[in-house]
Amino acid sequence: MDMQDLIEKFPDAVVHEITEFQYAETGKGPWRLYIFGKDHFHSGGTWFRNGNPKYPDEEIPFEAAKGFAESAIGNKLEVRVCDGGDELVFHSENGKVVYGSTFWNEAKPDPTAGKVAKRLTGGKVK
């Protein structure tokens, strides 16, 4: 069903078109990385989060996501990182950061977090 079919089926419905990006704070994650090709399309987003992937079959490590993003930015591809609510926390185009210049530093996992958590829980950390 396309937009015209929906309008005809629900004539009193209010139609909202998003014409501007919705930006958000960095937050805790997880986040979704989108890299757009030269054709301005992406092949789907890839989930990542701080620390170890919670769902290894569906997520990549934080550092891998950062590496893919840096490579794409170097190749002047568009990069978007969205939070779980699909709001942008990082956006770059043509090799320049448009929004979220501090994202990768703010979101970077704390290397001591796992050690502290293990100590606090007596080594019982999932």
Whole-angstrom distance, CA of residue 32 vs CA of residue 81: 5
The pLDDT of residue 20: 56
Domain presence at residue 7: no
* Counted domains in the chain: 1
Please compute the mean of the pLDDT values over residues 53-74 and round it to a whole number: 92
Domain presence at residue 68: yes
Please compute the mean of the pLDDT values over residues 62-88 and round it to a whole number: 93
Domain presence at residue 30: yes
Please compute the mean of the pLDDT values over residues 81-93 and round it to a whole number: 90
Domain presence at residue 10: no
Domain presence at residue 12: no
pTM: 0.69
- Residue-number span of the structural domain to which 87 is assigned: 19-121
The pLDDT of residue 126: 44
Select the more confidently predicted residue: 22 or 98. Answer: 98
Whole-angstrom distance, CA of residue 92 vs CA of residue 69: 9
Domain presence at residue 105: yes
Domain presence at residue 106: yes
Domain presence at residue 11: no
The CA distances from residue 15 to 7, 8, 11, 85, 87, in Å, are 8, 12, 10, 20, 20
Residue 65 has pLDDT above 70, yes or no: yes
